[in-house]
Chain A
Amino acid sequence: MIVHLYRYGSDPIELAQILRERRIQSRNAATAFATWYTFDRYDDPAAAQQFLALRDPPVYRVGPVWAFDVGQPDIPPRPVAPANGQPGGGTELRVVSSVWIFGVWNYQAQRWEL
């Protein structure tokens, strides 16, 4: 089954890492850089906060990425439990590997063109 995933976040350093390296991965060494994703695309950050039961509305969304690029989850897809005064109810999963996302690197200019 082919699925796509999205990641939502608020960490400016992680966002800079994504833009600089075209790589998605949590910075949290305490969890061995395990990274949470969801199947769902939310255009409204308040909806992402609600259904993913996040403390704050996320600042950015990354995706879609292909599930087969992400690898096997160490926490398989599950319904999001209520937390942070939010109902949850979305779907979440966690993977330990990093994911390279599409980009066009200009060798001469030493920058991403896309």
Chain B
Amino acid sequence: MAQDGVEFSRIDGILDELQPYLVMGVQNHNLRNFTFERWRWDEPRLTVTWAGDDHITRNLGVSLRFDGGNERMGEILVEVNAWRDTDEMGGSVRIRKWRTARIGELKIREIRPRTPVLIFDEQLLIHSLYIGFRTVSSWQFRDLETATPIPAFASGRLLG
């Protein structure tokens, strides 16, 4: 969602500065067949998603949160997720088995008008990404502790 009082282009500049850290994390963990995305539903977020041979899909997200629309205050959040969707009860119910963890919350010390836009604890972000990739990669199917019924996926829906 939009960040009240904070311009999208300004936030996009912050994502520009965070992206190389995520790219470095991907390289350090030798991820293959991953997808990379910026923004989602107008929420400022960098997401790396990959699927393993274990049929579990995993992602690591770095998102931004600003305090009450204050452009100079905010946090960088590092989050990981793993999930697998299964059809149960003869295919009538779809269950998502998933697990999530908030790995890091880094205070943004300052947001400046020119490069570097963002002043934050660089080493803490690098460490959080390392822990995040390592944690989510270690999760097995038995570790996906939450089961949530979800709507059946439909690529199109007939109107009757």
Contacts and interface: CB of A to CB of B under 8 A. Distances in A.
A2 B43 contact: no
Contacts of B61: 83
Given A28-B42, A30-B12, A91 B1 contact: no
B153 A91 contact: yes
B34 interface: no
A17 B153 CA distance: 31
Contact of A82 (B2, B59, B63): B59
29 contacts: A3-B159, A9-B41, A11-B1, A28-B8, A30-B11, A31-B39, A34-B39, A39-B157, A52-B41, A55-B43, A67-B156, A77-B155, A77-B156, A79-B150, A81-B57, A82-B83, A82-B98, A83-B59, A83-B61, A83-B63, A83-B79, A87-B83, A87-B148, A87-B150, A88-B83, A90-B151, A91-B151, A91-B154, A91-B155
Interface residues of A, number: 43
Interface string A1-44: 11110001111111000000000001111110010100110000
A56 B154 contact: no
A36 B76 CA distance: 23
Closest 10 CB pairs of A and B: A89-B150, A11-B2, A30-B12, A82-B81, A10-B1, A1-B156, A87-B148, A28-B8, A77-B155, A36-B41
B9 interface: yes
Give the interface size bracket for B toward A. Answer: 35 or more
Interface in B98-153: 98, 100, 102, 146, 148, 150-151, 153
Contact of B81 (A2, A36, A52, A83): A83
Contact of B102 (A10, A56, A85): A85
Interface in B7-26: 8-9, 11-12, 15
A75 to B, nearest CB: 9
Interface string A42-71: 000000000110111010000000010000
